[in-house]
Chains A and B, each alone.
Chain A
Amino acid sequence: MSDPHRKYEIRCPVHGFIPIDDWEREIINHRVFQRLRRIRQLAWTDQVYPGAMHTRFEHSLGVMHVASQLYDAIVRTSQEVLRAEKTYTEGGFERDRRLVRLAALLHDIGHTPFSHGGEDLFPMTPGGQGRFRHENYSAAIIRTQLREVIEGHPLNQNVGLRADNIAALLEGSTGAGRALFWRELIDGQMDADRIDYLLRDSLHAGVDYGRFDWKRLVNSVEVVPRPDGRGPGLGVNEGGYHAAEGLVLARYFMFTQVYFHKTRMAFDHHLHEALKLILPRGCFPPPEGRELEEFLKWDDWRILGALANGGGGDHGRRLIERDHFREVYHTPEVPSRDDLTKLDRVRGALAGLVQAEQKAESSWYKVGAPDIPVRSDNPDRSVRPLSSFSGMLGHLRPSEMVMLYCRKEDAPRARQMVESINGGKQ
């Protein structure tokens, strides 16, 4: 057995060295975590940005690193509030730091091949209310395959973490108890996931749109009061509001330039359709019992093998031959009612030529309404939304762009038809 107190470091292209300990190393070395080496972070984005070949493996390490920095900064600036409002002690802080690190490390453990590209093919939940989400798979994997390596490490005797604690924090359930407060670091407006993926995707894609002063942001995060007796929440101090503004803008730019790029979205469509043919019964196995083990066998390599062997039908062929659908019409980013009426006309005119439609509002990376609380440096210490400090963000609206696609050979005719509607002007 290795020395449980030994420390390790992993090289990261974004953060330099990421320190880990023996407990985390054992989890990272587990086969279900190693599977993340075979899941590309941005699916087929390399067809547009050839450098975007990075994986969920390095992103997960990065999220753990950033989450720790956010956690430490908040405890540093807001320790007294947390002690008073949530009865934290030194031991409590130490335990929840562990919890946050492991939840961050494992937040993507349930991803499908090619990350979000396959999420629409999760099966329906037993209640039929909707589809499972990758968080459900992550929680199930943590409670089963990873339980022993999480609960059985000698270092855990110091904090007594259960696999259920980590799963509950990721799922967003009452089982997380007071630690639910830290869910904002995994799934919130300024979470570690978002901070890392913007920086990392930007670096690998070779674009600068995702860069912002994240270290300043980390140093500005603090606990702020929520109004009207609603308890504490997370925000930034006024000194950090430009860094927070930078995060929101980075997200907006990355969405428009990378995540919702018209060609990338065409490849997402082909992948989705090819997966439907490759997967037994057209969807992934549910996150339950033996089926979960079957799910874990699916990774990019297996899908690429299936495609190389002629799987995936016409869409599989299009992926391999780069014969992707072409965008022939798109609305503005924030369409007015007139724009939507015109979209209906274009859709009707093109009729059978339209092969696919991609909507920004359905995209996993969509940019929502920004609302980060900022505490003023003025004597009243008032708390206001970031959008009231920033003139730019006050006008930012969620992207609702819709794009219509045709086959390559139909694209010239489709574009001519679009041009003939209202003289072709949007």
Chain B
Amino acid sequence: MTQQEQRWFRLDLLCALIDQAPVRLGRTAVMKLAYLLQTVQGVPLGYDFRLHTYGPFDSDVLNDLGTAESLGAVKSEMVTFASGPGYGYEFTIAPNRDFIRQKAEGQLSAYEQAVRWALAEFGSQRAAELELLTTIIYADREAAQRKAPLSVEELASKVGEVKPHFPKQYVVEKIEELSRKRLLIALAPTQQA
């Protein structure tokens, strides 16, 4: 895939996520779903995610969303939350979505099942949940890369340092949930749920 082909493929995939999601997706949700697709499903998006306190992040995802919006393929709207002082953005599909589909020349078809998987498993999760789940997966992949298996406790402890506002027991539950879904690869064999 050339750089240009990959760019249109990425835009097409982001549009597909927004189009097919069971709920309106925000920026964080799109970012984390793209991370999951690339990291867990091996979709060749070419993003370079780095860990921040808000989970894996690559500003190129936001740039791509900005481009899709400039081309009239998606539309974003700022929303506020009843639960606190912050804000977010929600995306909907816009009339020029087909332009991006045409430019991508059907490359997405090989990954439609992966998109359906991401939306079915994670498409309805709150942004805070997605930040936590993807941080767990990021920490897991780091350990796997170092060939250093972790216990659930060790993984929870690593994640807890980055995201101290989640209770430790809650982080452990989320690790076990991901483990049951076979999405973690660095847990020591006896630790696999």
Taking a contact as CB atoms under 8 Å apart, the answer to whether A226 and B161 are in contact is no
Report which residue of B53, B83, B139, B162 has the largest number of chain A beta carbons within 10 angstroms of its beta carbon.
Answer: B53
Taking a contact as CB atoms under 8 Å apart, the answer to whether B52 and A172 are in contact is yes
Task: Report the Cα distance A180→B131, complex, angstroms.
Answer: 14
Taking a contact as CB atoms under 8 Å apart, the answer to whether B66 and A397 are in contact is yes
Smallest distance from the beta carbon of A116 to chain B beta carbons, Å? 14
Taking a contact as CB atoms under 8 Å apart, the answer to whether A383 and B70 are in contact is no
Taking a contact as CB atoms under 8 Å apart, the answer to whether B53 and A231 are in contact is yes
Q: Write out the residue numbers on chain B whose beta carbons fall within 8 Å of the beta carbon of A385.
A: 78, 87
Give the B-binding residues of A (Cβ under 8 A). Answer: 85-87, 130, 133, 135, 171-178, 180-181, 183-184, 187-188, 224-231, 233, 334, 336-337, 340, 361-362, 366, 368-369, 371, 373, 375, 380-385, 388, 397-398, 400
Whether B118 is near chain A, meaning CB under 8 Å from some CB there, is no
Q: Write out the residue numbers on chain B whose beta carbons fall within 8 Å of the beta carbon of A184.
A: 52
Task: Report the Cα distance A85→B99, complex, angstroms.
Answer: 46
| Chain B contact patch, size range | 35 or more
The count of A-to-B residue pairs whose CB atoms sit within 8 angstroms is 135
Give the A-binding residues of B (Cβ under 8 A). Answer: 3, 7, 27, 46, 48, 50-54, 59-60, 62-63, 65-67, 69-72, 78, 80-81, 83-88, 96, 99, 103, 126-128, 131, 135, 138-139, 142, 158-159, 161-165
Taking a contact as CB atoms under 8 Å apart, the answer to whether A227 and B86 are in contact is yes
Task: Report the Cα distance A276→B2, complex, angstroms.
Answer: 19
Taking a contact as CB atoms under 8 Å apart, the answer to whether B162 and A178 are in contact is yes
Taking a contact as CB atoms under 8 Å apart, the answer to whether A174 and B51 are in contact is yes
Q: Write out the residue numbers on chain A whose beta carbons fall within 8 Å of the beta carbon of B54.
A: 226, 230-231, 233
Given contacts A133-B48, A173-B142, A368-B59, contact A225 B86 (CB under 8 A): yes
Taking a contact as CB atoms under 8 Å apart, the answer to whether B86 and A369 are in contact is no
Task: Report the Cα distance A231→B48, complex, angstroms.
Answer: 24
Task: Report the Cα distance A366→B72, complex, angstroms.
Answer: 21
Task: Report the Cα distance A340→B11, complex, angstroms.
Answer: 15
Nearest to A400 among chain B residues (CB) is B67
Q: Write out the residue numbers on chain A whose beta carbons fall within 8 Å of the beta carbon of B88.
A: 227-228
Q: List 15 A-B contacts (CB under 8 A).
A: A130-B46, A178-B164, A183-B52, A188-B52, A226-B86, A227-B86, A230-B165, A231-B164, A337-B71, A369-B66, A383-B86, A384-B78, A388-B78, A397-B66, A400-B67
Taking a contact as CB atoms under 8 Å apart, the answer to whether B165 and A85 are in contact is yes
Given contacts A227-B83, A229-B128, A383-B85, contact A369 B63 (CB under 8 A): yes
Task: Report the Cα distance A226→B85, complex, angstroms.
Answer: 8
Report which residue of A130, A174, A187 has the largest number of chain B beta carbons within 10 angstroms of its beta carbon.
Answer: A174
